[in-house]
């Protein structure tokens, strides 16, 4: 009789036959290599899954080893499929591998069930993604695992409810480990799923240092707890639901990508965040903000520093949607993951408040937005920057001198840095260009070496010295290209605050590409944005959800029937009256002034190659003068301003 120690995790076995030691590797189990006791710590390392067997032949060792290795692979692959942070391409390959292993080693599924029945899935698991990446038996496993989550939760909660006094002679974790590998949680979960009392399982293979009676009392108590406990009410994900993304099916659902929250913009331009937020909330249907912006935007942090902030009220009202990298997570869990991944390096102290605002909302304020295509989409905008001449539309706006001067000054960077970033992205198995690679190469171009500590454009600008203007312009272009590509991927309009003709190259190009059309202009009396800033958050939300909703409906009707323009004029005028009335009521003495609000025409041809500049609505106090300054050719452009000139761009599909 030989002694064998086998680890699936280490993918190896050591066999002792008298004085002889042998080793079998999982990668090539047919080969039996000589070994010795000295190999032990290097073969098994810290593996905790070592099984000790008495065997008659090497074949027995091989069979057990091959099964153990496949179990270990299957567990890793199932976790890769479920992990919310896994790249989609990797998830799909892992799902295929899992299917192969399940088919070739029948015991693998039973092993997976033992492990996954022991605890409910953690917050960073996405069973939805695992389901959609997999086929066949692997998919069936994920479907059933999803269905069993409430029962598994019940079993786990019942385990935790067992009084500690019963464990005086037994280590609680060790007993749970025994139970898991004996399959108790699985049997219990099956019973809980059927809402029947579990049978008391046989206690076999107990370690000699446990008393059978003690273990039996604990397991009996566990069964009693399960029987008493109603199956936990936990929502089972509808796996076939394909409407979890943000891609809006209809025109009226299209949100606006809220560029004012982009941390890049804060370093590059002067933005009045509060004014941007108020005006956008009043006049736009819904704002879309990438989840990371909530944790990194200085504007948002400053805004949240005040009590009862407008942003929190807007989240609760469902007027602001977080575009999330991960499906089914809230602010707190997303923040946790981004911190662990070092995507976020600075702490955000408002995560809990954001989450509380989201929890109060009656609608889902989180929308999963895959970033799989963002690199390629971004690359398309960067390719425009690599052309010999600036985009034609941008040259139509005002004098082209400053733009051409910056175009020449940045020529080396536009060519070499973007090319290097593209190559580096490819090396990292990405597609197109990743923005972080572009920043790395810009840092290297400015400082001479890669500096991993520099993770934002603000840090680089502080170090850039005389190159600041060049850096500012180059990064304004690439950063704006990134916002354009994200808005395009999200099928959103793009709000771009604080317009500067040269820095906002893509907006300028959009303006210059517009056909000569006349927007709808409505003269109304309105309070200034400074007055609106003094209103309570709830007042702004009530205005938007009340009279503002009527205006939004009128816009939708106009889009469907262009001859209903008069309805929009009336609705906008009525809305302005309501805003003014409330402002005067809340702020006695607040002055009203006549402003010309501009409503852009809806896009008639969504497949037009040119970026179309039609915002559907805007807000303005000195619109006429600024528009004419901006576009002397008299072209249409809904430009918004109080203290800053803002534009909204409608991107073609």
Residues 399-458 that bind other proteins (CB under 8 A): 428-429, 452
- Residue by residue, DSSP assigns 432-456 as S--HHHHHHHHHHHHHSS--TT--S
- Out of 60, 64, 87, 573, name the contact with other proteins by CB under 8 A: 87
Q: Which listed residue (12, 268, 403, 417) binds other proteins by CB under 8 A? A: 12
Q: Any contact of residue 116 with other proteins (CB under 8 A)?
A: yes
Q: Give the number of C-alpha atoms closer than 13 A to the C-alpha of residue 40, restricted to the C-beta side.
A: 8
Q: Does 375 bind other proteins (CB under 8 A)?
A: no
123 binds other proteins (CB under 8 A): yes
- Cβ count near 152 (within 10 Å): 25
Residues 279, 282, 284: CA angle, nearest 5 degrees: 90
Strands (E), 313-465: 320-324, 366-368
8 A C-beta contact, residue 252 and residue 243: no
Q: Rule CB under 8 A: which of 560-579 touch other proteins? A: none
Q: Does 559 bind other proteins (CB under 8 A)?
A: no
**Among 57, 122, 270, 517, which residue sits at the site for other proteins (rule: CB under 8 A)?**
122
Residue 30 as a binder of other proteins (CB under 8 A): the answer is no
Question: Does residue number 102 form part of the binding site for other proteins (CB under 8 A)?
Answer: no
The one-character DSSP state at 303 is: H
Q: In whole angstroms, how close is the CB of 300 to other proteins at the nearest point?
A: 25
For residues 39 and 570, which CB has a smaller minimum distance to other proteins in the complex?
A: 39
Identity of the residue, 138 or 554, whose beta carbon is nearer to other proteins in the bound complex: 138
Interface residue with other proteins among 8, 391, 527, 600 (CB under 8 A) is 8
Kindly determine how many residues on this chain lie close enough to bind other proteins according to the rule CB under 8 A: 83
Q: What is the closest distance, in whole angstroms, from the C-beta atom of residue 521 to other proteins in the complex?
A: 50
Separation CA 274–CA 233 (nearest Å): 41
By CB under 8 A, residue 118 contacts other proteins? yes
Residue 105 sits in the site that holds other proteins (CB under 8 A): no
Residue 37 binds other proteins, judged by CB under 8 A: yes
- Of 41-49, 215-223, 376-384, 631-639: span binding other proteins (CB under 8 A): 41-49
CA-nearest of 166, 83, 86 to 125 is 83
39 binds other proteins (CB under 8 A): yes
Q: Is position 131 an interface residue for other proteins (rule: CB under 8 A)? A: no
Residue among 23 and 533 whose Cβ is closer to other proteins: 23
Under rule CB under 8 A, which residues in 169-198 are in contact with other proteins?
173-174, 176-178, 180-181
Residue 54 in the binding site for other proteins (CB under 8 A) = yes
Tell whether residue 121 is a contact of other proteins (CB under 8 A). Answer: yes
Whether 268 contacts 472, CB under 8 Å: yes
Instruction: Based on the shown chain and the rule CB under 8 A, indicate whether residue 239 belongs to the binding site for other proteins.
Output: no
510 neighbors 612 (Cβ within 8 angstroms): yes
- Binding segment toward other proteins, per CB under 8 A, in 122-130, 406-414, 493-501, 632-640: 122-130
The pairing of strands 645-649 and 493-496 is antiparallel
Burial of 202 (0-12, 13-18, 19+ CB in 10 A): exposed
Cβ proximity to other proteins, 222 vs 613, nearer residue: 222
Residue of 22, 24, 55, 72 interacting with other proteins (CB under 8 A): 72
Q: How far is the CB of 115 from other proteins (least distance, A)?
A: 5
Helical segments of 172-329, H only: 172-182, 184-193, 212-228, 263-268, 273-283, 291-296, 298-304, 310-316
- Contact criterion met (CB below 8 Å) for 483 and 475: no
Sorted by sequence, the CB contacts under 8 Å of residue 423 that are 6+ apart come out as: none
Q: Report 308-337 residues binding other proteins (CB under 8 A).
A: none
DSSP state of 1: -
DSSP 643: S
Burial 519-529 (b: 16+ CB within 10 A, else e): bbebebebbbb
Contacts (Cβ under 8 Å, ≥6 apart) of 365: 315, 318, 320, 321, 322, 358
- Contact between 340 and other proteins by CB under 8 A: the answer reads yes
User: d(Cα 13, Cα 29) in Å, to the nearest integer?
Assistant: 9
Closest CA to 570 of 524, 622, 616: 524
Report the residue from 29, 86, 472, 510 that binds other proteins according to the rule CB under 8 A.
86
167 binds other proteins (CB under 8 A): no
Q: Can you tell me the distance from the alpha carbon of 567 to that of 551, in angstroms, rounded to the nearest whole number?
A: 9
Can you tell me whether residue 97 is helix, strand or coil?
Answer: helix
Applying CB under 8 A, among 13, 43, 55, 226 the residue interacting with other proteins is: 43
Considering only 92-100, 254-262, 563-571, 578-586, which stretch makes contact with other proteins by CB under 8 A?
A: 92-100
Nearer to other proteins, 34 or 307 (CB): 34
Which DSSP letter does residue 17 get? E
Instruction: Determine, following the binding rule CB under 8 A, whether residue 46 of this chain makes contact with other proteins.
Output: yes
Binding range to other proteins, per CB under 8 A, among 340-348, 570-578, 582-590, 605-613:
340-348
By CB under 8 A, residue 651 contacts other proteins = no
Cβ proximity to other proteins, 114 vs 486, nearer residue: 114
CB of 577 vs other proteins, minimal distance in Å: 53
- The reply to whether 101 sits near other proteins by the rule CB under 8 A is yes
Is residue 125 part of the contact set for other proteins (CB under 8 A)? yes
Question: How far does CA 185 lie from the centroid of its chain?
Answer: 33
Cβ 500 to other proteins shortest distance, Å: 35
Exactly one of 16, 404, 426, 587 binds other proteins (CB under 8 A); which one?
A: 16
For residue 429, the minimal CB distance to other proteins (Å) is 7
Helix (H, G, I), strand (E, B) or coil at 50: coil
Residue 650, helix vs strand vs coil = strand
Does the footprint of other proteins cover residue 277 (CB under 8 A)? no
- With CA atoms as reference, report the closest residue to 627 among 529, 525, 519: 519
């Amino acid at each position: 009789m030989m002694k064998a120690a086998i680890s699936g995790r280490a993918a190896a076995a050591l066999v002792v036959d008298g004085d002889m030691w042998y080793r079998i590797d999982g990668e090539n189990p047919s080969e039996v290599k000589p070994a010795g006791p000295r190999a032990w710590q290097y073969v098994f390392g810290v593996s905790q899954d070592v099984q000790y067997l008495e065997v008659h032949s090497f074949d027995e060792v091989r069979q057990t080893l091959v099964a153990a290795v496949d179990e270990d692979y299957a567990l890793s692959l199932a976790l890769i499929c479920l992990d919310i942070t896994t790249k989609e391409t990797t998830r799909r390959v892992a799902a295929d591998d899992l299917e192969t292993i399940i088919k070739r080693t029948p015991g693998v599924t039973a092993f997976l069930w033992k492990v996954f029945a022991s605890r409910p899935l953690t917050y960073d698991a996405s069973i939805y993604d695992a389901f959609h990446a997999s086929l066949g038996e692997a998919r069936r496993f994920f479907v059933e695992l999803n269905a069993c989550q409430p029962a598994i939760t019940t079993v786990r909660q019942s385990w935790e409810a067992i009084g500690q006094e019963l464990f005086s002679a037994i280590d609680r974790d060790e007993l749970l480990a025994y139970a898991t590998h004996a399959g108790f949680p699985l049997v219990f979960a099956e019973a809980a799923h059927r809402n029947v009392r579990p049978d008391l399982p046989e206690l076999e293979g107990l370690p000699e240092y446990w008393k059978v009676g003690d273990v039996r009392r604990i397991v009996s108590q566990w069964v009693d707890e399960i029987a008493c406990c109603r199956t936990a009410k936990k929502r089972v994900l509808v796996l076939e639901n394909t409407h979890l993304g943000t891609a809006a099916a209809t025109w009226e659902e299209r949100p606006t990508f809220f560029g004012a929250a982009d941390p890049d913009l804060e370093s590059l331009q002067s933005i009045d965040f509060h004014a941007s937020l108020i005006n956008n909330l009043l006049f736009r249907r819904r704002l879309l903000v990438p989840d990371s912006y909530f944790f990194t935007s200085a504007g948002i942090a400053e805004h949240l520093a005040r009590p009862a902030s407008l942003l929190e009220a807007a989240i609760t009202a469902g007027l602001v949607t977080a575009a999330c990298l991960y499906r089914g997570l809230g602010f707190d869990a997303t923040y946790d993951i981004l911190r662990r991944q070092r995507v976020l390096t600075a702490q955000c102290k408002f995560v809990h408040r954001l989450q509380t605002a989201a929890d109060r909302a009656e609608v889902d304020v989180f929308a999963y937005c895959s970033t799989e295509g963002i690199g390629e989409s971004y690359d398309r905008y960067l390719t425009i920057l690599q052309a010999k001449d600036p985009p034609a539309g941008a040259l139509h706006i005002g004098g082209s001198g400053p733009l051409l001067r910056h175009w020449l000054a940045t020529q080396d960077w536009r060519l070499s840095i973007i090319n290097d970033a593209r190559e580096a992205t490819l090396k990292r198995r990405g597609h197109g260009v990743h923005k972080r690679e572009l920043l790395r190469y810009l840092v290297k171009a400015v400082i001479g070496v890669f500096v991993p500590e520099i993770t934002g454009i603000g840090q680089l600008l502080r170090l850039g010295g005389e190159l600041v203007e060049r850096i500012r312009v180059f990064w304004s272009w690439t950063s704006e290209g990134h916002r354009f590509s994200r808005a395009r991927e999200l099928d959103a309009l793009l709000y771009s605050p604080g317009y500067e003709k040269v820095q906002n190259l893509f907006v300028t190009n959009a303006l210059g590409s517009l056909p000569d059309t006349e927007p709808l202009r409505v003269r109304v009396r309105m309070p200034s944005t400074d007055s609106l800033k003094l209103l309570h958050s709830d007042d702004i939300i009530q205005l938007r959800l009340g009279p503002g909703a009527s205006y939004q409906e009128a816009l939708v009707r106009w889009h469907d029937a262009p001859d209903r323009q008069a309805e929009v004029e009336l609705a906008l005028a009525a809305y302005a009256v309501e805003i003014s009335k409330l402002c005067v009521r809340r702020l006695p003495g607040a002055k009203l002034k006549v402003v010309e609000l501009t409503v852009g025409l809806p896009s008639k041809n969504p497949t037009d190659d040119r970026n179309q500049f039609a915002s559907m609505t805007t807000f303005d106090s000195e619109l006429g003068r600024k528009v004419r300054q901006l576009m002397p050719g008299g072209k249409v452009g809904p430009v918004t301003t109080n203290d800053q000139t803002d534009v909204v761009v409608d991107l073609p599909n």
